[in-house]
A and B are shown apart, each in its own frame.
Chain A
């Protein structure tokens, strides 16, 4: 199911620092990239999309649900994969960590196990289901973090710099997974080649949107701005 996220006149302040300055956007494409220099407000923007942050002023609506009022319902629709998977993996064993997303659901053990198995197999993590999560490689941890989000079956997944901490091989692996996902995907990244096949790229600078276009034009504007 395609998710529509509306951002209306959003300002985000942290004490005296204004991270976002009046953002108005409607996101309803399948693949959206967010780029910008460090401190441009792109990660703050990402955290607004599933209610991890509530805007200081303005509104964020996910399929009509206000993130300020319906946090849990919004997070069922929009999953979030953090930059550092080590901070997102909360259980010591791989399969137990994936099952964490099902906490709070009345599910028979067999069905719970089947759902965990399905998502682990989807990302080639099946052979590691009983391994301690800290023994996985960086790329595997990132895939585990993604598996832990996808088991909740969100319609949209927001990635905050998913390839930043990975080596080239693992970054390519994660990029391939993102490219093949069926869910709506919003990726905050510095990895510009990753966005070439996307539907839309939004460029942030100093808390404002300075370009919002198809990838070639938007990325050209970003590169020009960075020089």
Chain B
């Protein structure tokens, strides 16, 4: 997701809806295309997009790293059982798709993405779909991926400290329990933090307390004595 300090390019400024549409089209196209040179070209074109957007090679590689072992495994299995060409084709297709999807999130504000999703889902209101709730779910998924990953690391560390080896069940059970407990708190927090919304997407009139006041005596008071630092 975009953060301050990243280079802002014309690709960053494109509308989120357009990027999502192109992503959907490219995703479909990549699945239909079976030509190795075309897929290699698509992969290179994606890397060119990263370069044009000013995203570093390291950051681009980070998008693929979590799935690297899976890509290697796929390449070997396809190569041994089918052909090495098919292996390369599958790996190129998946890598390009991942990079393209990551490119959209890296160059688009989350609220713009959510607004685009909500807008796209508006016609489905008549079938009972609540676009605002889907948008909120989308945002929560993006927000809690790093939190749950951190919890998985904490559990793994705790198990290592107690001499337990890598056991997927021993990791999954406490992680599920923690996540469910957290979900209950998050639901309460959403309720407590959005007193003006019923999550239907409708907007009400502005109450008088929202008239913007000039800085009061306690404005800018808290952290100037201790410069906030990002966690390293």
How many angstroms from the CA of A86 to the CA of B220 in the assembled complex?
Answer: 24
- In the bound complex, residues from chain A placing their C-beta under 8 Å from that of B4 are 127-131
Convert A81-101 into 0s and 1s, putting 1 for each residue whose CB lies closer than 8 angstroms to a CB of B.
010101111111100110111
Contact segment of B77-85, B158-166, B209-217: B209-217
How many angstroms from the CA of A104 to the CA of B24 in the assembled complex?
Answer: 30
- Contact A106-B231, Cβ < 8 Å, known A115-B210, A149-B193: no
Is A2 part of the contact surface with B, judged by Cβ < 8 Å?
Answer: no
Q: How many A-B residue pairs have CB under 8 A?
A: 173
How many angstroms from the CA of A169 to the CA of B110 in the assembled complex?
Answer: 32
- In the bound complex, residues from chain A placing their C-beta under 8 Å from that of B157 are none
Are B205 and A106 closer than 8 Å at their CB atoms?
A: yes
- In-complex Cβ contact of B185 among A87, A106, A111, A128 (8 A): A87
Min Cβ gap A107→B in Å is 6
Is A219 part of the contact surface with B, judged by Cβ < 8 Å?
Answer: no
Convert A144-171 into 0s and 1s, putting 1 for each residue whose CB lies closer than 8 angstroms to a CB of B.
0000110011000000000000000100
Q: Which of B1-20 contact A (CB under 8 A)?
A: 1-4
Contact segment of A15-23, A174-182, A203-211: A174-182
Min Cβ gap B168→A in Å is 24
Q: Which of B100-135 contact A (CB under 8 A)?
A: 109-111
Is A173 part of the contact surface with B, judged by Cβ < 8 Å?
Answer: yes
Other A-B pairs, 4, CB within 8 Å; known A122-B219, A137-B230, A176-B225: A84-B185, A90-B189, A103-B199, A105-B196
Which residues on A are within 8 Å of B, measured CB to CB?
Answer: 47, 50, 52, 72-73, 75-76, 79-80, 82, 84, 86-93, 96-97, 99-107, 111, 114-115, 118, 121-125, 127-137, 139-140, 143, 148-149, 152-153, 169, 173, 176-177, 180-182
Q: List 29 A-B contacts (CB under 8 A).
A: A72-B196, A72-B198, A73-B195, A76-B196, A79-B193, A87-B186, A87-B189, A90-B186, A90-B190, A93-B2, A100-B193, A101-B195, A101-B196, A102-B196, A103-B196, A104-B194, A104-B202, A106-B205, A107-B203, A114-B212, A118-B212, A123-B222, A124-B220, A127-B4, A128-B4, A134-B146, A137-B230, A139-B228, A176-B222
